[in-house]
Amino acid sequence: MLVFNLLKIGASPSRDLADTLVRAWPSYTAYVVSFMTIGIMWMNHHAMLSRISKVDSRLLALNLFLLMGVVAIPFPTALVAEHLHGPAAANGQAQTAVVTYGLVMIAIAIGYASIWLYMAGHQAKLGARQVRVPRLTTLRFTGGNVGYLGGTLIALVAPQVALVIFGLLALYYLSVPLPDPDVPDDRELPEES
Amino acid sequence: MLVFNLLKIGASPSRDLADTLVRAWPSYTAYVVSFMTIGIMWMNHHAMLSRISKVDSRLLALNLFLLMGVVAIPFPTALVAEHLHGPAAANGQAQTAVVTYGLVMIAIAIGYASIWLYMAGHQAKLGARQVRVPRLTTLRFTGGNVGYLGGTLIALVAPQVALVIFGLLALYYLSVPLPDPDVPDDRELPEES
Amino acid sequence: MLVFNLLKIGASPSRDLADTLVRAWPSYTAYVVSFMTIGIMWMNHHAMLSRISKVDSRLLALNLFLLMGVVAIPFPTALVAEHLHGPAAANGQAQTAVVTYGLVMIAIAIGYASIWLYMAGHQAKLGARQVRVPRLTTLRFTGGNVGYLGGTLIALVAPQVALVIFGLLALYYLSVPLPDPDVPDDRELPEES
Amino acid sequence: MLVFNLLKIGASPSRDLADTLVRAWPSYTAYVVSFMTIGIMWMNHHAMLSRISKVDSRLLALNLFLLMGVVAIPFPTALVAEHLHGPAAANGQAQTAVVTYGLVMIAIAIGYASIWLYMAGHQAKLGARQVRVPRLTTLRFTGGNVGYLGGTLIALVAPQVALVIFGLLALYYLSVPLPDPDVPDDRELPEES
């Protein structure tokens, strides 16, 4: 549904097309950031669930909650694309749009943390393969939560700055994905004993 | 397509965005309830079909009928989100919207019951693994049908109450999913002999 | 995208909702017929391709052509739903809509026949399991092509009659699906020797 | 989402339907070309990734970039369909639309070339099966890039000619797909030693 936000750009026939396309740069930025975010989430989700061999009903429910957040991403993406600049950006509408984006990201981060904590606490029941939670992974989850929370607070006064933070978070997760348990990982910090 | 209903919220540019987003709470509620309902249905469907090792053309046809109902859920969801309150709620429009939602749910419940009854009556042909229909499962199906039927009738006079009933039904099915035949299940009531 | 046609029904807020929903019966009929048609096509496609163990580039191209027709089905479905009756049905618009529906169906039928004929003519190359083309299957393909061609011609004068024919064709294919090569089939007529 | 562009055709109820459908021929052409392009990309992508047995995070990131371009195809497709002829084609709007289409295609071609070069340079790490890059494949990638680049430049003066070039490129890739490593390929040119 992300591309649906792009389809709306060309639907206003009464203006100069080249000008319309250039002015729509927030839509392209939002499309790229959200697409990358969804892609990274999909990869992390796969890496996370490939550590266990069974699921129970509670994990399915947590998973459903997470998926509900990820599927909703096109909604705040459209808000940001349409209200980031131009006349609609007046009256704090850019702030409202980016704060909404941040709130959806926080909900998704909570979903990830819940699944990870549930998996860490029920390893035997779930047939988990990698039993210890590495320190780096804990740092990553904490960092993501703090980053999205901080970005959302910053969006109240400087929505453009918050968007840059969200973009940098996506780039970080893209360059340092969650380690796949199938491949030996030399990026892990030494673990607690 | 559920998120499409959310995308429409931000598309009215001439109003205050924060106010628009707050007033759209029925849309979020409808999104959450419908997403959870579709997710639970998907899980139950998987648990149901994992009991058999073969399908025949009649089961495929029943399955298609069920899927047709599930795919249609965004339609009554949008009706409820747009007509539950505000000026559009006058003249019994909220009642009409919630009754339509209930009718689609009843059709889906009939689809589930048909598949379950067909599977129970053709176990040898379908290579079913768990031959006895546990009493709890029968209760669940009957309870769901009665709940959605009762909610739809209540929607004729009190659509908000009916929506709460539909939400509680979703929460119940989420917390007590259909037992997966692959895992030993201690939630089953003693069966009839 | 089929449900998108339903979502448009509730989007006209200025009228009585119950009346709007009742008047939209062609949309529901079109949704049901098209959903069933797509579902049956999916099943037949699966049964057809499960007979071979290899694909080549020409079969992939034919398959792409077939898929292009199936994915387009929501387009003529929407035309029929919106132009079958009411003020828009005047000036032959119902005829135009149903003829368009029939033309898409004919294109899809040609796609199926092309794949089937290609498979029949390159069995060794494709590693086909069931080498003889049973007479009943040939009859089915011919019948479908004749039925959709005849229905499209009838739509030029009586679009409602043509829609009934298209619905009956869907019901026939639903009740007599293409035999799956994995299960012994007692519905086949004796084959030519 | 491609069919969404078709759904918009029938949504203008105030005109003669047959005339509307005939005038919409650029939409059908755009649908066919884009559907074929997406289908061929999907096939090539599959043939490319079936050569390796492992993925690393950088390949996943490149893959995500490629996918982002492919998913965006309905956007320039809609631009071309709506601005190719008629009153909207004045003022260079057809040029703008087709150039945008070409730019998206160039981005996708860069994505393919990046993945192919990365795979060729990290064969041991990725567990690649077919280690040498055949000359024909190199020619194909170079040809595609030159073709889309040239078409985009031509679109600045003759958008219709550029569209024909894009269509011919799609036909070429459809008739000569990337060789699948599982089947012996007699189309390959002798390789460099």
The pLDDT tens digits for D142-192 are 777 888 999 999 999 998 899 889 888 888 877 766 655 554 444 443 343
Q: Which domain holds residue B48?
A: 24-175
d(CA A47, CA B133): 37
In the predicted model, what is the mean pLDDT of chain C?
Answer: 79
On the question of pLDDT at C86 being above 90, the answer is: no
d(CA A4, CA B35): 20
CA-closest candidate to residue B181, choices B61, B66, B53, B64: B53
Q: What is the mean pLDDT of residues C27-43?
A: 85
Min Cα separation B17/chain A (Å)? 6
Interface contact flag, D75 A9, Cβ < 8 Å = yes
Give the helix ranges, DSSP H, for B50-134: 57-71, 74-83, 93-121, 123-126
Please tell me which of the candidates C1, C68, C83 has its beta carbon nearest to residue D4. Answer: C1
Are B95 and B159 in contact by the 8 Å Cβ rule? The answer is yes
Q: Find the chain B residues whose C-beta atoms sit closer than 8 A to any C-beta of C.
A: 1, 4-5, 54, 56-57, 60-61, 64, 67-68, 71-72, 74-75, 78-79, 82-83, 88, 91-93, 96-97, 100
Are D190 and D132 in contact by the 8 Å Cβ rule? The answer is no
Angle made by CA atoms C132, C134, C136, in degrees to the nearest 5: 170
Q: Which of A68, A82, A125 to mutate to test the interface with B (most CBs of B within 10 A)?
A: A68
Min Cα separation D116/chain C (Å)? 21
Of A39-43, B125-129, B131-135, D42-46, where does mean pLDDT reach its minimum?
A: B131-135
B176 neighbourhood in chain A, CB within 8 Å: 57
Cβ neighbours of C85 (radius 10 Å):
13
Per-residue pLDDT of chain A in tens (193 residues, 90 and over written 9): 688 788 878 766 556 888 888 888 888 888 888 888 888 888 878 877 877 888 787 888 888 899 999 989 999 998 888 887 765 556 688 899 999 999 999 999 888 888 888 888 888 888 776 545 566 666 777 777 888 999 999 999 998 899 889 888 888 877 766 655 554 444 443 343 3
Q: What is the mean pLDDT of residues D124-141?
A: 67
ipTM for the whole complex: 0.78
* Residue D190 falls inside a structural domain: no
pLDDT digits (tens, 9 = 90+) for B137-156: 667 777 778 889 999 999 99
Which range of B7-11, B38-42, C105-109 scores highest in mean pLDDT? It is: C105-109
Helices C25-49 and B57-71: crossing angle in degrees, nearest 10, is 140
> Would you state the structure tokens that stand for residue B156, as one six-digit string?
């004729």
- Position D189 scores a pLDDT of 37
What is the maximum span of chain A, computed from C-alpha positions, in angstroms? 67
Signed CA dihedral, B118, B124, B129, B134: sign only: positive
* Residue C2 falls inside a structural domain: no
pLDDT digits (tens, 9 = 90+) for B63-82: 889 999 998 998 999 888 88
CA distances from C161 to A48, C38, C98, C135, C175 (A): 55, 21, 10, 29, 21
Min Cα separation A10/chain D (Å)? 6
Q: Could you tell me what percent of chain C has a pLDDT over 70? A: 77
Got the DSSP string for D16-56? -HHHHHHHTHHHHHHHHHHHHHHHHHHHHHHHHHTT-S---
Residues 6+ apart with CB under 8 A from A99: A152, A155, A156, A159
> Would you state the structure tokens that stand for residue D165, as one six-digit string?
């070039």
d(CA D14, CA C91): 12
Are B30 and B5 in contact by the 8 Å Cβ rule? The answer is yes
Got the DSSP string for A140-169? HHHHHHHHHHHHHHHHTT-HHHHHHHHHHH
Please tell me which of the candidates A71, A82, A93 has its beta carbon nearest to residue B3. Answer: A71
C93 neighbourhood in chain D, CB within 8 Å: 16-18
Q: Do chains C and A touch (3 or more CB pairs under 8 A)?
A: no
- Position D187 scores a pLDDT of 41
Q: Which of B34, B55, B71, B96 to mutate to test the interface with C (most CBs of C within 10 A)?
A: B96
CA-closest candidate to residue B1, choices A4, D154, C89: A4
- Position C150 scores a pLDDT of 93
C5 neighbourhood in chain D, CB within 8 Å: 7
* Residue C180 falls inside a structural domain: no
Give the helix ranges, DSSP H, for chain D: 2-7, 17-23, 25-49, 57-71, 74-83, 93-121, 123-126, 135-155, 159-175
- Position C137 scores a pLDDT of 67
CA-closest candidate to residue D115, choices D43, D48, D47: D48
d(CA D22, CA C99): 13
Of A14-18, A54-58, C17-21, D5-9, where does mean pLDDT reach its minimum?
A: A14-18
* Residue B10 falls inside a structural domain: no
- Position A177 scores a pLDDT of 62
Got the DSSP string for A118-144? HHHH-HHHHT-S--S--HHHHHHHHHH
Residue B158: Cβ-neighbour burial (10 angstroms; 0-12, 13-18, 19+): middle
* Residue B110 falls inside a structural domain: yes
* Residue B99 falls inside a structural domain: yes
d(CA A148, CA A105): 7
Secondary structure percentages of chain B, helix, strand, coil, to 5: 75, 0, 25
The separation between CA D13 and the C-alpha centre of its own chain, rounded to angstroms, equals 33
Interface contact flag, A17 D78, Cβ < 8 Å = no
d(CA A47, CA A41): 10
Interface contact flag, A4 D5, Cβ < 8 Å = no
- Position C119 scores a pLDDT of 85
Three-class SS of residue C44? helix
On the question of pLDDT at C192 being above 50, the answer is: no
Signed CA dihedral, A159, A101, A50, A124: sign only: positive
* Residue D20 falls inside a structural domain: no
* Residue D1 falls inside a structural domain: no
d(CA A134, CA B14): 50
The number of helix segments (H) and strand segments (E) in chain A equals 9, 0
The structural domain count of chain C equals 1
- Position C42 scores a pLDDT of 83
> Would you state the structure tokens that stand for residue D189, as one six-digit string?
């040119």
pTM, 2 dp = 0.79
Interface contact flag, A177 D54, Cβ < 8 Å = no
Q: Residue A4: phi, psi to the nearest 5?
A: -55, -35
In the predicted model, what is the mean pLDDT of chain B?
Answer: 79
